[in-house]
Structure 1
Amino acid sequence: MDPIADELAAFLFNRLKDTPPAARLIVGIAGVPASGKSTLAHLITERVNAAGRSLHSPPRTATDAATSEANGPEHVAVCVGLDGWHLTRAQLDAFPDPKLAHDRRGAHWTFDGEGYAAFVRALRHPTPTTTGPNASPSNQTVYAPSFDHAKKDPVFDSIPVYPHHRLVILEGLYTFLKTEPWSAASELLDERWWVNISEEAAEKRLVVRHVKTGVVRDMEEAIWRSRENDVPNGRFIRENMMEPTRVIQSVEDPIYSTVE
């Protein structure tokens, strides 16, 4: 996806030049499971930040370089994955049918949609502590959760979106659903990008990925998980997403082409 990422990063970097200094550019990248949306989002983020760094003088010392990399104004983009808004396993245990909730983990109703919408609103609107003549979305730090795959649970307030992060790329299955409560966030996005892939191609990738990453025990379980959870989730997204502003054709990832 490198050539596609280069093109899209250049587009966003140029658009940032036309974005008011006190505003953020927020992009949602969605697609069915295994469409390649996460890979694309991270590649774009890296390239936009590289373009930002090229506009600044190199730091004078190694310490300055490390500080600049994490906090400098040239670090203009940040990528936030939707996985951090998974409901915890304890919350799934409290569902009327806990087994179904765990089996269907990844469906939209096993996420904290309200929390995600609140996060996107916070990116857009100043908090009460930042009111006044200079208040803007860019003078506050907003925190997003991440996901610990070892513990299989979210880690809250672990991804900071600093004031100099003027481009926020949100990637995940449900970044721009048109159903509540997700629609409140979808309407605030500047760009809604859909990574397109056929259902058949996505399933081929999924079963390999599930086995390679240890999500399942074997190929049989991988096929079951794909058909009973991932495919229905993908169909739901296609039927309930807000109109994309751009459709991107997915590119085959050789990492998930075969099981060794």
Structure 2
Amino acid sequence: MDSSDLTGLTARARRLALTGKRRILGIAGPPGAGKSTLAGQLADALGPLAALVPMDGFHLARAELERLGRATRKGAPDTFDAAGYAALLRRLRSPEPGTVVYAPAFDRALEEPVAGSVPVAPDVALVITEGNYLLHAQDGWAPVRGLLDEVWFLELDRDVRVRRLVDRHVRFGKPRADAERWVAGSDESNAHLVDRGRDLADLVVRLGSGARS
């Protein structure tokens, strides 16, 4: 994505923010497509108009994944609290004067969600949320699409995306061989699920090879 693309996307997000009421913009796409990077760039460009609330804050904790027998599938649709995420979106859609809403975040160094990490003030015009399953229709995710005013779907060349995913896992502590196995198995399985929701997006954004994950 070059600077002109980012300028156009920022202008589109700004128009959404200036409608006079709280709006929520979703950025979806497969693992490693560049969702968090684009969402962060938009939030930075919009400044006090926007707040960034990642879906990843609703990962189930490691202990709960182990209890459920899902730890080896971390990142799959049923390893998140989808109902909790939808409940937060409903609350964000109707801001209360004087009330700050606190959303969770995900700490990649800890590989755990952290509650109360992201403050969203009532006067924020646009909430930007990003994650894999905003357009997913199963495993409790179906209500999410209707809670988002607009959703963009990001696409990135698969080879580039896989390479960047492996590098990201290595950066956060996985041996490269383990990272490659995880990406080939869990991450790519999830990517196929995410791709099924592409046609439900309002906009498909094709990212160039220079995009970061």
- Using structure 1 for the length normalisation, give the TM-score: 0.75
SS in 1 for 2:162: helix
For 1:41-88, what per-residue CA distance to the aligned partner results, in whole angstroms no more than 9, with x for missing partners?
100111112xxxxxxxxxxxxxxxxxxxxxxxxx11011111110000
Q: 1:187 to 1:242 in 2, by over 3 A?
A: farther
Looking at structure 2, the residues matched to 150 and 198 of structure 1 have their Cα atoms a distance apart, in angstroms, of 27
**Number of the residue aligned with 1:14:** 15
Seen in structure 2, the aligned counterparts of structure 1 residues 77 and 149 have a Cα distance that, compared at 3 Å, is same
Residue type at the aligned position of 2:64: Q
Instruction: Give the Cα separation in 2 of the matches to 1:232 and 1:215.
Output: 22
| TM-superposed deviation, 1:254 | 7.2
Q: Which of these residues, 53, 57, 61, is aligned with residue 88 of structure 1?
A: 61
Q: 1:119 aligns with which of 79, 88, 91?
A: 88
Q: Which protein shows a greater Rg?
A: 1
1:155 corresponds, among 114, 123, 129, to: 114
Percent of pairs with identical residues = 36
Q: How far is 1:255 from its partner?
A: 6.7
Matched to 2:110, the amino acid is K
1:158 counterpart SS class? strand
Please give the alpha-carbon distance, in whole angstroms, between the structure 2 residues aligned to 1:167 and 1:255.
23
Stretches of structure 1 lacking an aligned partner (at least 5 in a row): 50-74, 126-136
Deviations 1:96-155 (A, max 9, x none): x3xxx2221111111110110000011123xxxxxxxxxxx3524222101223332111
Tell me if the contact between 1:77 and 1:165 (Cα under 8 Å) persists in the aligned partners.
Answer: yes
What stretches of structure 1 move > 4 A for 4+ residues in a row? Answer: none
Note the 1:64-143 alignment, pairs <5 A: 75-95=48-68, 97=69, 101-125=70-94, 137=95, 139=97, 140-143=99-102
AA of the residue aligned to 1:194:
F
State the one-letter code of the partner of 2:156: I
Aligned twin of 1:188: 147
Contact preservation (8 Å) 2:135, 2:144: yes
Cα 1:242/1:114, change in 2 over 3 Å: farther
Distance in 2 of aligned mates of 1:237 and 1:255: 19
Q: Which residue of 2 aligns with 1:45?
A: 43
Which is worse superposed, 28-37 or 234-243? 234-243
RMSD over aligned CA atoms reads 1.9
Number of matched residues? Answer: 211
The 2-side partners of 1:232 and 1:112 are apart by 19
Q: Distance in 1 between matches of 2:161 and 2:55?
A: 19
Distance 1:149 1:180, change over 3 A: closer
Contact 1:24–1:138 under 8 Å retained in 2: no
Q: Output the amino acid matched with 1:121.
A: R
- What SS is found at the alignment partner of 1:233? helix
